């Protein structure tokens, strides 16, 4: 739960033979032969070699040349992660491990000030938890608190093939250097070796953005039966998960994306004709000829009359949608969508909104639908806003917000925590959606 957020040996070569060695070999192993016989044999050997060469040349003239050998595969570019010093630390009782666990505890306590220090120490030193630590390469900092650049403390559940992240932090002096992303990618690579399929965590409002960038999502795909009862629920935290694909090299994500981009561009170039077909320039009378077009369709008609536009697949309806009033309407729709998303996110960031972020689980609260006939929650509202066709104004979003507040008040007792959250949210909505004069309020 993240609430605030070798040496190679040189082979000896044989020493070169000396002249004395050659003389000894000639004397003992190769006795001198008849020089005349050697001369004759030499001529015979030379003649035979010449004859063989002629035959080989004739043979080569009739056979095609052998294909060149295949080019060797290009070497992989260096992986920047190879330069990062890291280690998995567990409480195995060894002095080195205990020193680094103390450094991790100090890092988490400093970077996560809202977490109780006793709670951090208990989990970090728990023998069921492991920690991935990024280490400084400075030998003067070895086995000191300053050696720890960043760390993630987690607990794996091998039988259920998931791991829960407890703490994640990077030293303040090393932030904005990409260590947060590198730390998570290294943990994913290590998780594959442990057979972990999902990583799950409770993130507070400050950490949700970070986890989204690392591939975590609020939409939990892992069956609830796999983690229910194994992890603790935290008020004010958002449950997020990340699927760990066993075939992805998470340390080479940029190279992978670049390779996919190049492949797509190559396929486009193979089928595209935009760089192969050249149309003649527009005639001088083109502008006068298009003056008769109506104002509503004039821009689209002129664009469609340009040679090559129709061949590229454009139609009048496509061009009309991108020009004139349709374009203005789309811009207004996009502006409203952005504004509504901003309002929903502001509500989600509030501490008292934790019980409104997800739909009520009717399998656990079996009588909820008997009391609340029209349930609504922040996740459903966000989906409606992103779809773009449900809300036509801010007033409609405000109506759903107040419906959510009233549903909570109806079902829960006035002295319950949920009712208190509903009252706090209602007060906040009054500041977020100020009523205009003469506009009726929504109860």
Residues noted as catalytic: 164
Q: In what order do the strands lie in the sheet with 238-243?
A: 85-89, 130-135, 148-157, 162-170, 198-203, 238-243
Exposure of 261 by Cβ count < 10 A (0-12 exposed, 13-18 middle, 19+ buried)? exposed
Residue 83 DSSP one-character state: G
**What is the rounded CA–CA span in Å between residue 127 and residue 122?**
10
**What is the rounded CA–CA span in Å between residue 366 and residue 370?**
8
**What is the rounded CA–CA span in Å between residue 154 and residue 196?**
12
Three-state DSSP class for 22? helix
Tokens coding 125: 């030193």
Backbone angles phi, psi at 233, to 5 degrees: -80, 140
Query: Which among 389, 410, 405 is positioned nearest to 441, based on CA atoms?
Result: 405
CB-CB contact of 157 with 204 (8 Å)? no
Tell me the CA end-to-end span of the chain in Å, nearest whole number: 37
Rounded-to-5 percentages of helix, strand, coil across the chain: 50, 10, 40
Q: Give the DSSP H or E segment for 86.
A: strand 85-89
Tell me the C-alpha to C-alpha distance, in Å, between residue 292 and each of 205, 296, 297, 348: 58, 12, 11, 54
Tokens 């070796």 -> residue: 193
Q: Which residues of 395-424 are buried (b: 16+ CB within 10 A; e: fewer)?
A: eebbebbbebbbbbeebbeeeeeebebbee
Tokens coding 196: 């972990």
**What is the rounded CA–CA span in Å between residue 353 and residue 346?**
10
Q: Give the DSSP H or E segment for 210.
A: helix 208-213
């Amino acid at each position: 739960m993240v609430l605030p957020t070798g040496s190679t040996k040189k082979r000896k070569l044989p020493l070169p033979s000396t002249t004395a060695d050659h003389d000894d070999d000639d004397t003992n192993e190769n006795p001198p032969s008849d020089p005349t016989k050697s001369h004759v044999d030499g001529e015979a050997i030379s003649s035979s070699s010449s004859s063989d060469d002629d035959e080989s040349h004739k043979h080569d003239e009739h056979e095609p040349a052998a294909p060149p050998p295949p080019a060797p595969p290009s070497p992989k570019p260096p992986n920047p992660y190879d330069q990062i010093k890291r280690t998995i630390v567990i409480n195995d009782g060894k002095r080195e491990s205990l020193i680094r666990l103390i450094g991790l505890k100090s890092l988490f306590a400093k970077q996560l000030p809202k977490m109780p220090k006793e709670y951090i120490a208990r989990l970090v030193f728990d023998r069921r938890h492991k920690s991935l630590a990024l280490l400084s390469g400075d030998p003067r900092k070895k086995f000191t608190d300053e050696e720890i650049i960043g760390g993630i403390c987690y607990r794996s559940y091998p039988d259920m093939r998931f791991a829960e992240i407890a703490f994640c932090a990077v030293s303040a002096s090393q932030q904005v250097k990409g260590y947060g992303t590198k730390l998570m990618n290294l943990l994913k690579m290590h998780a594959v070796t442990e057979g972990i399929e999902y990583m799950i965590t409770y993130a507070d409002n400050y950490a949700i953005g970070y986890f989204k960038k690392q591939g975590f999502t609020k939409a939990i795909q892992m069956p609830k039966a796999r983690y229910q009862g194994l992890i603790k629920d935290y008020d004010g935290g958002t449950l997020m998960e990340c699927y760990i694909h066993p075939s992805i090299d998470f340390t080479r994500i940029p190279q992978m994306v670049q390779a996919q981009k190049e492949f797509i561009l190559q396929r486009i170039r193979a089928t595209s004709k935009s760089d192969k077909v050249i149309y003649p320039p527009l005639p001088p009378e083109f502008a006068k000829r298009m003056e008769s077009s109506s104002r509503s369709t004039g821009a689209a008609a002129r664009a469609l009359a340009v040679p090559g536009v129709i061949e590229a697949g454009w139609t009048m309806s496509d061009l009309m949608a991108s020009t004139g009033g349709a374009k203005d309407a789309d811009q207004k729709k996009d502006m409203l969508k952005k504004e509504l998303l901003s309002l929903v996110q502001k509500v989600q960031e509030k501490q008292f909104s934790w019980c409104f972020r997800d739909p009520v689980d009717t399998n656990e609260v079996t009588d909820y639908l008997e009391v609340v006939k029209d349930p609504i929650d922040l996740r459903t509202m966000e989906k409606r806003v992103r779809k773009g066709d449900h809300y036509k104004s801010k007033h409609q979003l405000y109506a759903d917000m107040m419906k959510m507040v009233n549903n909570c008040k109806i079902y829960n007792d006035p002295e319950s925590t949920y009712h208190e959250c509903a009252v706090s949210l209602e007060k906040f909505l009054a500041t977020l959606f100020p009523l205009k004069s003469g506009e009726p309020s929504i109860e």
